[in-house]
Amino acid sequence: MKRQIVFSLVCFLLLLSACKNHNPSFREISLNVLRDKIAGGWAGKMIGVTYGAPTEFKALGNIFTDSILWKPSDIRGSLWQDDLYVQLSFLMTMDSFGIHAPSKKFQEMFATAGFPLWHANMQSRKNYFDSIFPPASGNPANNIHADDIDFQIEADYIGFMCPGMPKELVTIADSIGHIMNYGDGVYGGIFVGSMYSAAFFENDIRKIIETALQSIPSGSEYAQTIRDVLLLHDHYPDNWRQAWQELQLKWGETHICEAGSPFNIDAKLNGAYIVMGLLYGNGDPVKTMEITVRCGQDSDCNPANAMAVLGVMKGFSQLPDSLRLGVKDVGNSLFINTSYSFNKAVETTMKYALQLVRDNGGKVTLTQALVRSEKPAPPPLEVSFPNVVFDMNIPVTDHAAWKMSTGWQKYKISEGKDKPTVVQSVWSDQKGEAISLTFNGNGVSLTGNWLGNCGKADIILDGKKVKTIDCWYFHNKQEHHGISIWHILGLPNGEHTLSILVRGEKRPESTGSRIYISGATIFKDLPKKNEGFRFSFDN
């Protein structure tokens, strides 16, 4: 028996040696280094999101020029940031139902959690309560936020548990990403996650970016935007502000959510800012975060992703002492409405990473992991909003455009201290009350409110009922004003009439049956502003 054990051990060691020294299909990483890099990734998210938090959406379509005030003790604020608590709810789902649990389980866990949500996540939560489940919950037909940043900021855990395994990453991310996103919105999460996956074995930032690009469809606008950042960096290697200006001219207005506004939460533009910070930061954590923040828009999420890439690349042990101590100080504190702390997230992610290494043909010893190399396998190309360009916003206060029956009342709000009260919307809860708009275009997004006293209405387009909408939203007392409550795109370009008919009905949870209408966003089938665009050095 002893001879058999010794023989088996020798064979295993010979196989291990062959894998390490002669088989290029395996890559070796010590368990200590793997854990250190996972910790660096989670720490990077916590550091970056708090570094940029005070600047979030303070610079819209321009460079942020004010002072950035931050200290390591501010890292405690990460405990209530959606960049972290959403994906930690996904880890909790894995704990209960397995790594490859049905996507509906992941949607259920975060939809019923106690934390607030916005944009694509918010719509996915609303879709869950309206019995719209993945992948339909992220589909642009049911989610006008399909290209938003949401999955991009919460796919980190997938990259952290897929060291050098981009194919496995795409498999998991494609399922999770369609809970709340589609197309470029999903590719944002895949791209960022793939940068982490590559950073376990690569220290060249440019190569990390180029490797991650192989995991998303090359024909996507997301991939085009990232390639443009690489091109701009080549041309302006020492001038990120000039590169930013040219990028803004081409991609700054190509978004559907909040169309017509300088506010841009689109995944590809914010993803470009992540890459810009990484390239021009040259591996320096503070410089990387500062440049990413100064690019503007979602300037807490973007430095969180950029810093997490550096965290994986360098490892937690190689981060500056002040940053490490700031994370350690809250290492056992729970993120809101989750059962997770930083320390628990690191250990759980490590456990899943080793499981995935084994599941994908790799090997794990007491001290090392041998990861079977994978070629990236991008998902099929999806385009959320083809042939759709913003045309105009029509507020409900435009009395020449909107026609309404007599039962609609004004809903006034104050825009802040020492500011006048304004009409935000009109409302009615009386069955049969109607409001209508005739517009010219190929799509429309109806804006209004989701509140705790809202009810149901019929949507009638060109004389035909197309849907009954339910505007109730009061999960954990969160409500939403001035958002898209229904949309349709891809209509024949031309004149259409939209009517909303109050049903006077509500779901049991609601305290009323009001329908609030604040306006409409009109889209047309027109050439996009960036089509045929040439950078200044190409002219």
Which of these three, 372, 405, 435, is where a domain ends? 372
Query: What is the C-alpha separation between 252 and 532, in angstroms, rounded?
Result: 15
Contact (CB, 8 A) for 148 and 509: no
Question: Which distant-in-sequence residues (6+ apart) come within 8 Å of 67 by Cβ?
Answer: none
For residue 383, give the nearest of 185, 155, 532, 143 by alpha carbon.
185
Centre a 10 Å sphere on the Cβ of residue 278 and count the other Cβ atoms it contains.
26
Bond from prior residue into 163 cis (ω within 30 degrees of 0): no
Residues 252 and 197 in one domain: yes
What is residue 328's three-state secondary structure? helix
Q: What one-letter code names the amino acid at 433?
A: E
For residue 353, give the nearest of 312, 318, 304, 311 by alpha carbon.
312
Centre a 10 Å sphere on the Cβ of residue 174 and count the other Cβ atoms it contains.
18
Residues 295 and 196 in one domain: yes
Centre a 10 Å sphere on the Cβ of residue 393 and count the other Cβ atoms it contains.
15
Please give the radius of gyration of the chain, using alpha carbons only, rounded to the nearest integer: 25
| Residue 412, domain member (yes or no) | yes
Query: What is the C-alpha separation between 435 and 422, in angstroms, rounded?
Result: 20
Span 120-129, pLDDT tens digits: 999 999 999 9
| Residue 286, domain member (yes or no) | yes
Residues 290 and 396 in one domain: no
Q: Tokens for 211?
A: 């490797």
DSSP state of 475: G
Residues 309 and 446 in one domain: no
How many angstroms separate the first and last alpha carbons of the chain? 78
Which of these three, 372, 402, 417, is where a domain ends? 372
Phi, psi of 521 (to 5 degrees): -110, 130
Residues 408 and 452 in one domain: yes
Q: What is the DSSP string of 348-392?
A: HHHHHHHHHHHHTT-EE-SSEEEEEP----PPPP--SSTT-EEEE
Residues 421 and 480 in one domain: yes
Residues 516 and 440 in one domain: yes
Contact (CB, 8 A) for 129 and 112: no
Contact (CB, 8 A) for 200 and 312: yes
| Residue 278, domain member (yes or no) | yes
- Cα 226 off chain centre by: 16
| Residue 173, domain member (yes or no) | yes
Helix axes 205-213, 301-314, angle to 10 degrees: 110
Residues 349 and 498 in one domain: no
Q: Going residue by residue through the chain, which has 539 residues, state the pLDDT in tens, using 9 for 90 and above.
A: 455 544 444 444 444 554 444 456 999 999 999 999 999 999 999 999 999 999 999 999 999 999 999 999 999 999 999 999 999 999 999 999 999 999 999 999 999 999 999 999 999 999 999 999 999 999 999 999 999 999 999 999 999 999 999 999 999 999 999 999 999 999 999 999 999 999 999 999 999 999 999 999 999 999 999 999 999 999 999 999 999 999 999 999 888 999 999 999 999 999 999 999 999 999 999 999 999 999 999 999 999 999 999 999 999 999 999 999 999 999 999 999 999 999 999 999 999 999 999 999 999 999 999 999 999 999 999 999 999 999 999 999 999 999 999 999 999 988 777 777 888 999 999 999 999 999 999 999 999 999 999 999 999 999 999 999 999 999 989 999 999 999 999 999 999 999 999 999 999 999 999 999 999 999 999 888 888 898 988 86
Residues 360 and 410 in one domain: no
| Residue 530, domain member (yes or no) | no
Span 52-82, pLDDT tens digits: 999 999 999 999 999 999 999 999 999 999 9
Q: Is the pTM of this model over 0.85?
A: yes
User: Burial level of 532, CB count in 10 A (0-12/13-18/19+)?
Assistant: exposed
| Residue 6, domain member (yes or no) | no
Residues 435 and 327 in one domain: no
**What's 444's domain CATH number?**
2.60.120.260
Q: Tokens for 7?
A: 């023989």
CA distances from 19 to 12, 31, 362, 365, 438 (A): 10, 17, 10, 13, 68
| CA dihedral (81, 480, 274, 165) positive or negative | positive
Beta bridge partners of 489: 443
| Residue 377, domain member (yes or no) | no
Query: What is the C-alpha separation between 519 and 437, in angstroms, rounded?
Result: 9
The domain tally of the chain equals: 2
Phi, psi of 326 (to 5 degrees): -60, -35
Question: Which distant-in-sequence residues (6+ apart) come within 8 Å of 96 by Cβ?
Answer: 105, 109
Q: What one-letter code names the amino acid at 230?
A: L
For residue 378, give the nearest of 180, 163, 184, 121 by alpha carbon.
184
Query: What is the C-alpha separation between 108 and 102, in angstroms, rounded?
Result: 10
Query: What is the C-alpha separation between 414 and 219, in angstroms, rounded?
Result: 45
What is residue 75's three-state secondary structure? helix
Residues 340 and 415 in one domain: no
Residues 147 and 195 in one domain: yes
Query: What is the C-alpha separation between 439 and 445, in angstroms, rounded?
Result: 11
**What's 152's domain CATH number?**
1.10.4080.10
Q: Tokens for 204?
A: 């060249």
| Residue 288, domain member (yes or no) | yes
Domain residues for the domain of 517 are: 389-524
- Cα 383 off chain centre by: 16
Residue with tokens 């460079």: 63
Query: What is the C-alpha separation between 56 and 167, in angstroms, rounded?
Result: 33
